Amino acid sequence: MVGPDNCIAVIPCFNEGRTVAAVVAALRRQLPAVLVVDDGSTDATATEAGVAGATVLRHPRNRGKGAAVKTGMAEAARRGFEWAVLLDGDGQHDADDLPAFWQSAQRTGARLVIGNRMPAAAAMPWLRRQVNRWMSRQLSRRAGQTLPDTQCGFRLVHLPTWGTLALRTERYEIESEMLLAFLTAGAPVTFVPIQTISRRGSHIHPVTDSLRWWRWWRQGAPAGCVPEKHPQPGPLPPPEFSSPAVSGAK
């Protein structure tokens, strides 16, 4: 079964002190635990998240979204959860959409469920919408199947499968790398429609991050056909969790 009893929220954050408390509070109404990874914030992100009821892990310096995701997922696995829901701390994802992720995973057997904003894409900023569509076309061609919203950070992840993957990226490429890694491993992936909540600000730098994504695409993205069969993942290996690099918030 997939549901709140075996699922934890993981929120990578950088300077989201104005919004993270509301995100945590909404999730706490549906989930037993919320992890916030404060990726070197210089504002009150850690304090606000902790007061709202999250367990906070902290990177002393900003290491990138991919690094924060890895830290949070490792801790989620260490705590014994089978599933983790990833979402951003800026309020662009609505916790009320979470049951649709569980239902989709239960119905399809997917090991990765990704939010799909494309049915309401007009609500997204124009440039971000165009970049997302371009990246999704590239990834769809390589995967040999239609992947409608490859850059959405709202995801339900099967932690035992996650634990078998060797992910290298440390920044925003993590969304693309994670998706292709699941598909290449033969782990089923599906998409579920979600609300599109527009936010004015973003930590994504369209030029810098697009160039970084392009370098990853040319140098490290897996190529080839996706396996048709979907073997069950093996047991979860010990998580890679470095205590010196992460400290709990007080």
The DSSP secondary structure of 32-93, one letter per residue, reads S-EEEEEES-SSSHHHHHHHHT-EEEEESS---HHHHHHHHHHHHHHTT-SEEEE--SSS-S
Asked, for residue 175, whether it belongs to a domain, the answer is: yes
Asked, for residue 152, whether it belongs to a domain, the answer is: yes
What integer pLDDT is reported at residue 116 of this predicted model?
Answer: 93
Q: Per the structure, how many domains does the chain have?
A: 1
Domain that holds residue 36: 4-223
Q: What is the CATH number of the domain that holds 125?
A: 3.90.550.10
Looking at residues 47-69, what average pLDDT do you find? 97
What integer pLDDT is reported at residue 126 of this predicted model?
Answer: 58
Asked, for residue 243, whether it belongs to a domain, the answer is: no
Asked, for residue 244, whether it belongs to a domain, the answer is: no
More confident residue, 55 or 226: 55
Q: What is the pTM of this model?
A: 0.80
Q: Is the pLDDT of residue 81 over 50?
A: yes
Asked, for residue 144, whether it belongs to a domain, the answer is: yes
Per-residue pLDDT tens for 142-189?
Answer: 888 989 989 899 999 999 999 999 998 988 889 999 999 999 999 999
Asked, for residue 239, whether it belongs to a domain, the answer is: no
Asked, for residue 154, whether it belongs to a domain, the answer is: yes
Asked, for residue 248, whether it belongs to a domain, the answer is: no
